[in-house]
């Protein structure tokens, strides 16, 4: 049975309330079911539409569920994606603003910046690779509007793939200089190693994740465009990032990317 438009509107309103009020909410799978991917993306698109109407600017996408272990946990066999808005990039900030987050966690990734559209023709491996202008080390600060991270597939898709903020490193490398699948990653919290992994942990190759996204985004009528940033998915386990945490990750030839989280959540009005 198809999910009713009323349920999609109710799910969007619930997640929007979490952002507006600064309080996590109940999962939305009671409205959408646990397997209706199209309904979940319809909620995401509605929330995106509202953000665009309020003046937000889309600058790229993020890919989630690229880890086979996480896919097994949620009972799925494919990634998901969310939208990156310009105000999610906090690379230039002295600190990550903890007050903008509810339940933040950090994961280390490779970010691709596109030099060409991925809109027409075959989106095979060679085409996708050629479209990448350069890559950077990145920290994705994932977040969930769903209380206690109690998520299933439809919850995270509807919630913009559990996106929060992101930080990009300074070193730009073209794909002629390194192979994304071969990089190693180590991530540290307050100087202690808390996560490690490799490019191959991301769907076997972060470029595989990018190709999946290119095809899927086009199928939803909103293909990837030149200049957009794509966060390709975690290279290792994500870790909590409460206020005051200092995170840095070393990602092979892409170098180091770091983020210092502000000490306190700003008190929100009740």
Is 74's pLDDT higher than 80? Answer: no
Residue 203's pLDDT is 93
Q: Looking at the domain assignment, is residue 143 inside a domain?
A: yes
Q: Looking at the domain assignment, is residue 4 inside a domain?
A: no
Residue 1's pLDDT is 53
Q: Looking at the domain assignment, is residue 23 inside a domain?
A: no
20 Cβ contact partners less than 8 Å away, ≥ 6 residues apart = none
Residue 72's pLDDT is 75
For residue 142, give the CATH number of its domain. 3.90.850.10
Assigned token pair, 169 = 């490193």
Whole-angstrom distance between the N-terminal and C-terminal Cα of the chain? Answer: 39
Residue 265's pLDDT is 55
At 8, the pLDDT band (50, 70, 90 cuts) reads very high
Residue 101's pLDDT is 97
Q: Looking at the domain assignment, is residue 46 inside a domain?
A: no
Assigned token pair, 238 = 């994500």
pLDDT in tens, 223-256: 999 999 999 999 999 999 999 999 999 999 999 9
Look up the domain containing 65 and give its range: 58-260
Is 267's pLDDT higher than 70? Answer: no
Q: What is the mean pLDDT of the chain?
A: 93
What percent of the chain has a predicted confidence (pLDDT) above 70? 95
Taking the C-alpha atoms of residue 145 and residue 25, their distance in angstroms, rounded to an integer, is 6
Query: How far from 228 is each of 22, 45, 73, 131, 214, CA to CA, in Å?
Result: 29, 18, 30, 11, 12
Residue 73's pLDDT is 64
CB of 145 closer than 8 Å to CB of 18: yes
Q: Looking at the domain assignment, is residue 270 inside a domain?
A: no
Q: Which of 162-201 are b and which e, b meaning 16 or more Cβ less than 10 Å from the residue's Cβ?
A: bbbbbbbbeeebeeeebebbebebbbbbeeeebbbbbbbb
Q: Looking at the domain assignment, is residue 121 inside a domain?
A: yes
Assigned token pair, 196 = 């490690």
Taking the C-alpha atoms of residue 49 and residue 196, their distance in angstroms, rounded to an integer, is 36
At 270, the pLDDT band (50, 70, 90 cuts) reads very low
Q: Looking at the domain assignment, is residue 27 inside a domain?
A: no
| pTM: predicted TM-score of the whole model, two decimal places | 0.94
Phi, psi of 206 (to 5 degrees): -55, -30
Q: Identify which has the larger pLDDT, 80 or 67.
A: 80
Domain count, the chain: 1
From the CB of residue 89, how many other CB atoms can be counted at a distance below 10 Å? 17
Assigned token pair, 89 = 């990039």
Judged by DSSP in three states, 199 sits in helix
Q: Looking at the domain assignment, is residue 64 inside a domain?
A: yes
pLDDT in tens, 117-131: 999 999 999 999 999
């Amino acid at each position: 049975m198809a999910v009713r438009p009323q349920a999609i509107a109710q799910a969007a309103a619930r997640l929007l309330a979490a952002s507006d009020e600064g309080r996590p909410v109940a999962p939305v799978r009671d409205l959408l079911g646990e397997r209706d991917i199209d309904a979940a993306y319809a909620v995401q698109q509605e929330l995106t539409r509202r953000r665009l109407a309020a003046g937000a600017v889309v600058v790229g996408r993020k890919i989630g569920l690229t880890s086979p272990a996480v896919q097994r946990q949620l009972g799925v066999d494919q990634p998901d994606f969310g939208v990156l808005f310009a105000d999610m990039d906090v690379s230039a900030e002295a600190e990550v603003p903890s007050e903008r987050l509810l339940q933040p966690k950090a994961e280390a990734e490779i970010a691709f910046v596109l030099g060409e559209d991925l809109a027409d023709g075959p989106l095979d491996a060679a085409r996708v690779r050629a479209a990448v202008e350069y890559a950077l080390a990145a920290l994705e600060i994932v977040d969930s509007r769903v209380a206690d991270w109690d998520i299933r597939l439809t919850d995270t898709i509807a919630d913009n793939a559990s996106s929060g903020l992101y930080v990009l490193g300074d070193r730009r490398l073209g794909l002629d200089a390194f192979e994304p699948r071969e990089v190693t990653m180590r991530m540290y919290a307050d100087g202690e190693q808390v996560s490690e992994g490799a490019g191959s942990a991301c769907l076997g190759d972060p470029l595989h994740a990018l190709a999946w996204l290119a095809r899927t985004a086009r199928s939803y009528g909103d293909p990837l465009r030149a200049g957009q940033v794509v966060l390709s998915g975690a290279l290792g386990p994500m870790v909590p990032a409460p206020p005051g945490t200092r995170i840095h990750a070393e990602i092979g030839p892409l170098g180091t990317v770091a983020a210092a989280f502000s000490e306190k959540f700003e008190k929100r009005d009740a």
